[in-house]
Chains A and B, each alone.
Chain A
Amino acid sequence: MKTLDKLHQHGAGGVKAPSGATSPLSVSGLSVAYQKKPVLRDVTFEVNEGELIGVIGPNGAGKSTMMKAALGLIPSISGEVLVYGKPCSEQRRLIGYVPQRESVDWDFPTNALDVVLMGTYGRLGWIRRPGAKEKAEAMECLRKVGMADYADRQISQLSGGQQQRVFLARALVQNAKLYFMDEPFAGVDAATEKAIITLLQELKKNGKTVIVVHHDLATVQQYFDSVLLLNVELKGFGPTSRVFTQDMLQHTYGGRLAFLDHTIAAGATEAHGGVSL
C-alpha cells in the first residue's frame, strides 16, 4: 500500500495545471460504487487544456465508470468534479461525449444523419427541432469522419467501425471544449484509426481537450500527451514520457500484464497467458 501511495503521488504530483488557469477537468477524491465494493476509489487528477489524454487500464478497471461519473451520468459516493472551475451540470455545453458503441441498440428506426443531429439538441432548447443550419453542420461533421455517403443509411446497416464514426461525428457537432471518448478506436480498421487520430489532433490544435479510453498499448506514446493509468485506484497520471513506463504499467495491470510492446522501455517481459489488453 505504501508503494502505491508513493506511485500515486509520483503520478499525480508533477502535473498540476499552471496556477491561475482553470483546468478543463479537475477531479478530486472521486469514488463510485455500483454495489457494495467501490469500483473507483479516491481518484484525483487535473488535466491541462489542449491535451490529448489517454486513459489506460485493464477490463473492468473503471475507465467507463470514471468517465460517466465525471460527466455526472452516474452518482458518485464521494468526490468533486469541476469542469472549467464549475460543476459539470452547469457546463453541459462545453462537454462532448462519445459513449462505448455497445451502449445503445443500433436497431433503432433512424439514420446516420439523424443520430449526428442529436448532438445539436443541447443548444436547441426544449421545443425547437433541428433545422437546415443544424443539418448542414451535421453533414459537415459526417464528412469530417468520412461518412458523408452514409448519411441516409439506417444505422443498423452500418458496420461497427462506421457506427463508431457516427458517434464521433455526433460529438463533433456538439462543438464542445472538453471531450470524453470511450474507446473510439474499438473495432475500427487501421485506416479509420488513422483518420480518427488525425481528427483528434485537429481538435487539440483548436485548443480542445480530449480524454480517450484506449486499449492498444502500442500506440499510446504516439497518440497521447498525457496518460492516466487506472485500476480502481489512480495508478499514475502525467506526461506520457514519464508515466508510460514498464514499472507503472506492471503496477496498473498487475499480474495480468501478459506482454508489453517493444516500444516501451526494455525490461522484464515475463510471458503469462494470453491476456487481452
Chain B
Amino acid sequence: MNNFFAMLGDPNMRWIFLGCMLLGLSSGVIGSFSYLRKQSLVGDTLAHAALPGICIAFMLTGVKSIGVFLVGAAAAGFLATFGISFITRHTKLKQDAALGIVLSSFFGLGIVLLTFIQHGDYGNQAGLDKFLFGQAAAMVGGDVITMSVISAVLVGICSLLFKQFKLISFDPGFAKGLGYRVGLLEQLLMLLVVVAVVIGIQAVGVVLIAALLITPAVSARYWTNTLGIMVTLSGMIGALSGGLGAWISSSVSNLPTGPVTVLAATLFFAASVLLGPERGLLAKWLLRQKVKRSYHAEREVRIAEAMKGESVS
C-alpha cells in the first residue's frame, strides 16, 4: 500500500496509472462487442498483425508517436483482414485456420523487423522492444495524454452508436433490413479494435493486448443478462486490471506491465466463473442442491400422504 501511495505521489506515475485505467476501460468496452460477435480471435490477430505495421511506420518516419503507429497498425490490420477473407474464400480452410496463419506470419515478420530496428541505425530506438510485453513506466506524459484522449473518443463512439452496435452484434440480417450500413459499422468496430490495440501497445504490448479485449468481456457476461450493464462492467474490469497492472509492474523493477495486467484480468475472470449469479459454478451448484432438496421434501410429503391414505382405507 505504501508503494501505491508513493506512486500516486509522483505526478508522472499518476498519469500513467490513469492512462492504463482508461486503456483497460476502452478495450473492455470494445471487446464486449467483439466477443458477442464471436470475433475475439480477430482481435488477437489484429493485435499481432499491428507489430510489423508499427515497425514499418517507425522505419519510414523514424519517430515514435501514437499517430504514426496508428496509421501503420491500421494499414497492417487492413491487410490482415483482407488476408483472412482471401484465405477463407479461395481455399478450403476455415476461419480459425486462416486467423492462425495470418496471426503467426504477421507476428513473425514483426519480430524480424523489430530485431532489425534494434541492431540497425535508428537512433531513437529505445523502447520499441517494450512493445512486445509493454512497459507502462516507460511512457512519457505526452503519450499518456494522447492515450487518454483516444480512449475517451473510443468510449464515446461506443456509447453514441450503442444501439447500432447492439443490433449488428445480435442480428446483422435484420439490421441490414432496417437499412443500416452493416458492412460499414462492422469495419468501424474493427477499426476501433485496432485503435484500442495501438493505444495499448506501449502499456500492455501486442502479445497480450488481446487478453484485455477478451477477458473483461467474458468475465462481465457472467454477472448480467443486459448488454448495457455487461459493457459497463467489462469496461470497469478492464480499467481495474489496467490500474493494477500499472501499479504492480511499476513497483517491481523491470516487471513488464502486460503480463501483470493480464493476470489481474484473469483473476477477475476466475472470480466471475466461480461467483457469477446464475451462470457461475457456485450459483449453479447451489441451485441444484436447492432443487434436489425441495424435490425430495415434496416427494416425502407425497409418500407420507399416500401411506396415510392407505392406512385409513
Contact = CB atoms under 8 A, between A and B. Distances in A.
Contact of A110 (B163, B176, B179, B226): B226
Contacts of A127: 160
Contact of B177 (A97, A108, A110): A97
Interface in B214-230: 221, 224-227, 229-230
A108 B170 contact: yes
B50 to A, nearest CB: 28
A178 to B, nearest CB: 12
A143 to B, nearest CB: 21
Interface string B120-157: 00000000000000000000000000000000000000
Interface in A96-130: 97, 99, 103-105, 108-111, 114-115, 118, 121-122, 124, 126-127, 129
A103 to B, nearest CB: 6
A99 B163 contact: no
A89 B224 CA distance: 37
A32 interface: no
Contacts of B163: 121, 124, 129
Nearest to A125: B163
A154 B229 CA distance: 14
B174 to A, nearest CB: 6
B178 A121 contact: yes
Interface extent on B, as a size class? 20 to 34
B177 A118 contact: no
Contacts of B160: 127
A110 B173 contact: no
Contacts of A85: none
B227 A109 contact: yes
Interface extent on A, as a size class? 20 to 34
A127 B308 CA distance: 67
Contacts of B161: 126
A36 to B, nearest CB: 13
A73 interface: yes
B283 to A, nearest CB: 14
A109 B177 contact: no
B171 interface: yes
A108 B229 CA distance: 13
Contact of A73 (B38, B170, B177): B177
A127 B171 CA distance: 19
Interface string B16-46: 0000000000000000000010100000000
A72 interface: yes
A220 to B, nearest CB: 26
A261 to B, nearest CB: 32
Given A73-B173, A109-B229, 7 more contacts: A95-B177, A99-B171, A103-B173, A109-B225, A109-B226, A110-B225, A124-B163
Interface of B: 36, 38, 160-164, 166-167, 169-171, 173-174, 176-179, 221, 224-227, 229-230
22 contacts: A97-B173, A97-B174, A99-B174, A103-B173, A104-B171, A105-B170, A108-B36, A108-B169, A108-B170, A108-B227, A109-B36, A109-B224, A109-B227, A109-B229, A109-B230, A110-B227, A111-B225, A115-B170, A121-B163, A121-B164, A126-B161, A129-B162
